[in-house]
Amino acid sequence: MTPPIRLAAVTTVAAAAGRLSDRTRILVFTGAGISTESGIPDFRGPHGLWKRLDPNDFTLERWVTSESFRIEAWGRRFAPDRPVYRPNDGHRAIADLWRTGHMIGCITQNIDGLHQAAGLPDEGVAEVHGNASGIVCYAEGHDVDVDDVRSRWEDGETDPRCAGCGSILKSTTVLFGENLPPGAVARAQGWTDGADAVIAVGSTLSVYPAAYFPLEIAGRGDPFVIVNEGPTDHDRLATVRIEGKAGDVLPELVGALIAG
């Protein structure tokens, strides 16, 4: 079914809050743009990673076949001077929206764990592109202890292997060409089915299947609010499109919804 074309009728936060004021099962869908104010670059924005790196280098096939790619990645991950990122006001506003009973859940494309660091509980987040915190045995899929891998890397094991079967290891980040985590996808679909509105924040809405979740809600006519700096691939479907930084817009929007 072709989703309805609805030009964004309003662009103010107050009017957007008016469209969401009676909604109690809002799905929040986030992309890399919500974390740029925490110092993490996005992918397709003006200074995005894909402006200087080739996404085709970040495939599962390259991880499995290129020892040098794995060594470089483990080196970045375990580097003692690796930056520590912290949540920003956008993440905190979503946690507030959850705490005040307006949300069904948050589907995030991000792997940085900043929603949870801002206070959104694990049961409120579906990380459909995985996360950068875990490590698994590639051959058998089971979790492995991250501290043990780190200490073996620090002792010189630059391409750490599974202590049980000797397989290569892999971060729990989803690489291109890899299936999305079935548990997160099932949770995301359940929330999509049960949502009564969606707010998409900091995403070009250009990567599938993740982008299908907000589009499914828009397609059945529920309010579709886009908060983004710059255009997205689906602005024409938005009930409301607000141009701006997540860290500025979300506290104002959530504040208006909580005030009722």
Residue numbers annotated as active site: 129
Residue 113 interacting with ligand APR (CB under 6 A):
no
The residue within the footprint of ligand APR, chosen from 44, 70, 92, 241 (CB under 6 A), is: 44
Residue 245 interacting with ligand APR (CB under 6 A):
yes
Choices 66-74, 151-159, 179-187, 245-253; region in contact with ligand APR by CB under 6 A: 245-253
Single-letter code of the amino acid located at 137: C
Write the Ramachandran bin of 113: left for phi over 0, alpha for psi from -120 to 50, otherwise beta: left
Q: How far is the CB of 37 from ligand APR (least distance, A)?
A: 5
Q: How far apart are CA 244 and CA 252, in angstroms?
A: 12
Q: Residue by residue, what is the 3-state secondary structure of 155-187?
A: CCCCCCECCCCCCEEEEEECCECCCCCHHHHHH
Residue 230 interacting with ligand APR (CB under 6 A):
yes
The residue within the footprint of ligand APR, chosen from 109, 131, 192, 239 (CB under 6 A), is: 109
What distances in angstroms separate CA 101 from CA 120, 131, 138, 169, 177, one per listed residue? 12, 26, 39, 39, 36
Q: How far apart are CA 178 and CA 181, in angstroms?
A: 9
Q: How far is the CB of 101 from ligand APR (least distance, A)?
A: 25
What distances in angstroms separate CA 230 from CA 5, 33, 54, one per listed residue? 19, 10, 22
Q: How far is the CB of 22 from ligand APR (least distance, A)?
A: 26
The residue within the footprint of ligand APR, chosen from 202, 214, 223, 251 (CB under 6 A), is: 202
- Binding footprint of ligand APR on the chain (CB under 6 A): 31-33, 36-37, 42-45, 48, 55, 109, 129, 202-204, 206-207, 228-230, 245-247
